Structure 1
Amino acid sequence: MTPFFENQPPARPKPGGVVVLAFIATLAGRFVLTRLGLDVPVINDVRVLLYLTLILCLMLEAHRIGPAGRTAGGYAVLPIFGLLGYQILSASWAPSGAITGPMIGDLAATAFLILVYYTLAHWDRDHVTRMTLHLFHIAAWVYFLAAASGRGHASNGRWAALGGGPNVFVRVMFLGCITSLYLYFRSGQKLYWLMPIPAFVFGALASGSRGGLAAIAITGVIAIVAIRPKLRWNRVAKPLGFLVVLSIMVALTAGPVIADFVQTRFVDATVGQGYTSDRDVLFAWALRLFWQRPLFGTGINGFHAIANLGEGERYVHNLPLSVAAEGGFVGLTLLGLAWFGLWHAYIRTPRAQRSSEARTSAYCGIFIGATCLFSGDYFDARIMWIMLVLAAVHQASPPDAAPADRISHPWSRAST
């Protein structure tokens, strides 16, 4: 008699190195070789080499990806591509002095990365997301240790690392916090996974990014509202007490290092002097341009060309306002449709099939989206789109398939 296991179809291979490469390409951003003292034409922007290598890897892995059945939620990526395509098209009516080439490249790069992760989600969404969350946790440690060693600090003492600014640094720090919570729940609530959180919060404070702190507060409120019905004091008391003790230890040992900086940056400048890093000026200009050209906007880079606020203020530092100023009502509608499509695809997933990876990815995307209200340009929103796509898009299970593996923790019992 033929053994049972011989009748089973071979297990589909899981993505590995290509996920690591996609993560590096995503996190590297606009890293250029001139930061290392090199100036190589064409490939000076490392995205060229990384993206070409990524395309080659996906082509080599195409036979492994194969037809894996219908992809649920795939429609959610169409409005995103519609928005990015419209923004690229808006270069045709941008002001004559607008330099649109680099921004078109950024938008095309964002679309490419979204397409890569959509393809990987079609292959094995939960495995890809799990690897990506682990890689963000590792990146948080690398960034923290690099900044703690004194490398990469901004001229005013704000923590940064590996060529990114303080606002990039704070994003990585808080993504490290979110992934620490994910690993804590996934490990069966082993406390040692919570140990990095006070260090990452310390790094976030040292970055001096007020927008990053506001973004994690917004994300925390959304998470609490979502999981509140399932919260039980006896389940959170132990990890909460553990974090409090660790935080006190970190504050006593390392707090004096940045105490003066925190006092100056957060208390004196923000509360005492009302310092906003000119965000109020940027937001006011964006609204003014929107009302002047309400339908189609100024076109990409029109804000910088018309407002002419200097090289340090080239973009609005607020994604919806930037889209409003440069894309008008049409751009805002496409942005709203993109967010709505992702949300709709996510909530349409049966609750029993929402994995802990998908939920954590959703919170990561919400956090990055919240940071886009205070800093960054269109390309800086790429991680938001990617994490929300990983949360919304997944392989459709056949009717008789077993429910997805779910970890017993609050995030697996609540919708975001």
Structure 2
Amino acid sequence: MTTRAPEARPGLVVLIAFVVTLAGRFTLERVGLDVPVVNDVRVPLFLVLILSLVLEAHHVGSRPVEGGQALLGILALIGYQALSVLWVPPGAVTGPMLGDLLAITGLLVVYFNLAAWDRDRVTATTLKLFHVTAWIYFLAAASGRGHQANGRWAALGGGPNVFIRIMILGMITSLYLYLRSGEKVIWLAPIPAFLFGAIASGSRGGIVALAITVTVALLAIRPRIDFERIAKPLALVAVLGTILVITAGPSIAGYVQSRFVEATLGQGYASSRDVLFQMALGIFLQRPILGTGLNGFHTVTDLGFGERYVHNLPLSIAAEGGAVGLALLVAAWAGLWRAYVAVPPAERSLEARVAAYCGIFVGAAGLFSGDYYDARLMWILLLLAAVRPAPAPVLAR
């Protein structure tokens, strides 16, 4: 009698991929070091990631996959963006942007292969890692480390707009762990803390992105809402949230009043986003077919070091890629959607649904902050929601 060897599962490579993804553009210069080639930590991290993927995948071999067209749509958009360096204005600096696009491509290829291997396990591990990361960021910010001069919460070298994305992803993954654990309410306890951190970040765009995500989720699950089932969890979150506001609220009350009420509602302050959006739209109208090319917005507007990008993904692609770029963006989203809905709702895994909502949130946040590389989480999460291993063929007897 022979014993069947256990099937290989993705392990350490998922953790390495998460670290590479989360690291962003972290450089050694931030900690006072200057090491040629590896100053951009993505260089050594990507080498380790690719090597670990090759070593682990060697035990598995090639796997049939469903939803692969979703990756092709994203890569078509990225390829076009890279090609647009051919018509950038004189003096445009495109090297760093090309490096970002190459890094996104590498991450997408890695996660595509991981999803083809064992999508639900990879996604579950990634969601848990986001939850742990949210706690690390929250505790770091709550200790006072990383705050900006104006009091906005941030942590570990990232700005407030990065911080709120981690906080909201922490909230979503709390719900995921609650559902995955058989509805143990202890997993809902972090939600008020993460929401408090999100508000303390002062990121108005992040709050709007959360509202967009909640609206989409409610529209999707509205026919299946069981109010009796959710009453207890909602009561717990409300009680914990009230306690948190009473105990810690006064520490940020003045800041919330000035940031959200007086500046936003009273003065209509939009952190120059309205000006940037108008500039991007103007460039698009001047160059409606191909746009101004990669990083052309920064070159044409000449706004200096502080404002290098539009802070809105569709408008940025419209300005720098024109109608062709917008069409490819829509096609990429449509390809992800078609691959996602190809699985009937009753057969769709919890991991796929949660990854989709996480991707929607990051995408909505990209309407108010960030650049092309900041959108990597959106592409990765939506790819994990859409791509899946093909079912094993049924052998005829």
Normalised by the size of structure 2, how large is the TM-score?
0.98
Q: Partners in 1 of 2:19 and 2:91 — Cα distance?
A: 34
Q: What is the aligned counterpart of 2:5 among 10, 16, 19?
A: 10
- The residue type equivalent to 2:262 in the other structure is D
Aligned Cα root-mean-square deviation (Å): 1.1
Q: Partners in 2 of 1:43 and 1:398 — Cα distance?
A: 42
Q: Partners in 2 of 1:65 and 1:50 — Cα distance?
A: 23
Size of the aligned set, in residue pairs, is 395
Q: What is the aligned counterpart of 1:65 among 60, 78, 81?
A: 60
Tell me, yes or no, if structure 1 residue 110 matches structure 2 residue 104: yes
State how 1:98-177 maps to structure 2 within 5 Å: 98-177=92-171
Partner of 1:260 in structure 2? Answer: 254
Q: Partners in 1 of 2:60 and 2:209 — Cα distance?
A: 36
Give secondary structure in 2 for the equivalent of 1:146: helix
Q: 1:182-219: CA deviations, max 9, x gaps?
A: 00011011111001000000100110000000000000
Q: Partners in 1 of 2:24 and 2:7 — Cα distance?
A: 31
Q: Partners in 2 of 1:135 and 1:355 — Cα distance?
A: 19
Partner of 1:408 in structure 2? Answer: none
Q: What is the aligned counterpart of 1:94 among 79, 88, 92?
A: 88
- The residue type equivalent to 1:258 in the other structure is I
Q: Partners in 2 of 1:83 and 1:155 — Cα distance?
A: 38
Partner of 2:357 in structure 1? Answer: 363
State how 1:218-297 maps to structure 2 within 5 Å: 218-297=212-291
- The residue type equivalent to 1:335 in the other structure is L
Q: Partners in 1 of 2:284 and 2:263 — Cα distance?
A: 30
Q: Partners in 1 of 2:56 and 2:392 — Cα distance?
A: 25
- The residue type equivalent to 2:238 in the other structure is V
The Cα shift of 1:177 comes to: 0.1
Give secondary structure in 2 for the equivalent of 1:161: coil
Q: Percent identity?
A: 63
Partner of 1:309 in structure 2? Answer: 303
Q: What is the aligned counterpart of 1:82 among 60, 76, 79?
A: 76
Partner of 1:45 in structure 2? Answer: 40
Q: Partners in 1 of 2:246 and 2:393 — Cα distance?
A: 56
Q: Return 9-18 or 218-227, whichever deviates more.
A: 9-18
Unpaired runs of 5+ residues, structure 1, are 402-416
Give secondary structure in 2 for the equivalent of 1:189: coil
The Cα shift of 1:175 comes to: 0.1
Q: Partners in 2 of 1:155 and 1:90 — Cα distance?
A: 38
The question of whether the paired residues in 2 share the 8 Å contact of 1:170 and 1:212 is answered with yes
Unpaired runs of 5+ residues, structure 2, are none
The question of whether the paired residues in 2 share the 8 Å contact of 1:12 and 1:64 is answered with no
Q: 1:99-144: CA deviations, max 9, x gaps?
A: 1000010111011101110011111100000000000000000000
Q: Partners in 2 of 1:389 and 1:44 — Cα distance?
A: 29
The Cα shift of 1:230 comes to: 0.4
Q: Partners in 1 of 2:102 and 2:347 — Cα distance?
A: 32
In structure 2, relative to structure 1, the CA distance for the partners of 1:399 and 1:236 (3 Å cut) is farther
The question of whether the paired residues in 2 share the 8 Å contact of 1:147 and 1:153 is answered with yes
Q: 1:33-90: CA deviations, max 9, x gaps?
A: 111111111100100010011111112112223133x200011100100100110110
- The residue type equivalent to 1:161 in the other structure is A
Partner of 1:409 in structure 2? Answer: none
Give secondary structure in 2 for the equivalent of 1:276: coil
The Cα shift of 1:397 comes to: 1.1
The Cα shift of 1:354 comes to: 1.1
Partner of 1:19 in structure 2? Answer: 14
- The residue type equivalent to 2:291 in the other structure is G
Q: 1:299-321: CA deviations, max 9, x gaps?
A: 01110100112211110000000
The Cα shift of 1:400 comes to: 5.2
Which runs of 4 or more aligned residues in structure 1 lie more than 2 Å from their structure 2 counterparts after TM superposition?
350-353, 398-401
The Cα shift of 1:399 comes to: 6.1
Q: 1:333-383: CA deviations, max 9, x gaps?
A: 000000000000000013333110010000000000000000000000000
Tell me, yes or no, if structure 1 residue 55 matches structure 2 residue 21: no
Q: Partners in 2 of 1:117 and 1:303 — Cα distance?
A: 30
- The residue type equivalent to 2:50 in the other structure is I
The Cα shift of 1:92 comes to: 1.2
The Cα shift of 1:14 comes to: 1.0
Normalised by the size of structure 1, how large is the TM-score?
0.93
- The residue type equivalent to 1:51 in the other structure is F
Partner of 1:328 in structure 2? Answer: 322
Q: Partners in 1 of 2:257 and 2:60 — Cα distance?
A: 53
Q: Partners in 2 of 1:297 and 1:100 — Cα distance?
A: 15
Give secondary structure in 2 for the equivalent of 1:133: helix
Partner of 1:414 in structure 2? Answer: none
Q: Partners in 2 of 1:62 and 1:246 — Cα distance?
A: 44
Q: Partners in 2 of 1:11 and 1:340 — Cα distance?
A: 37
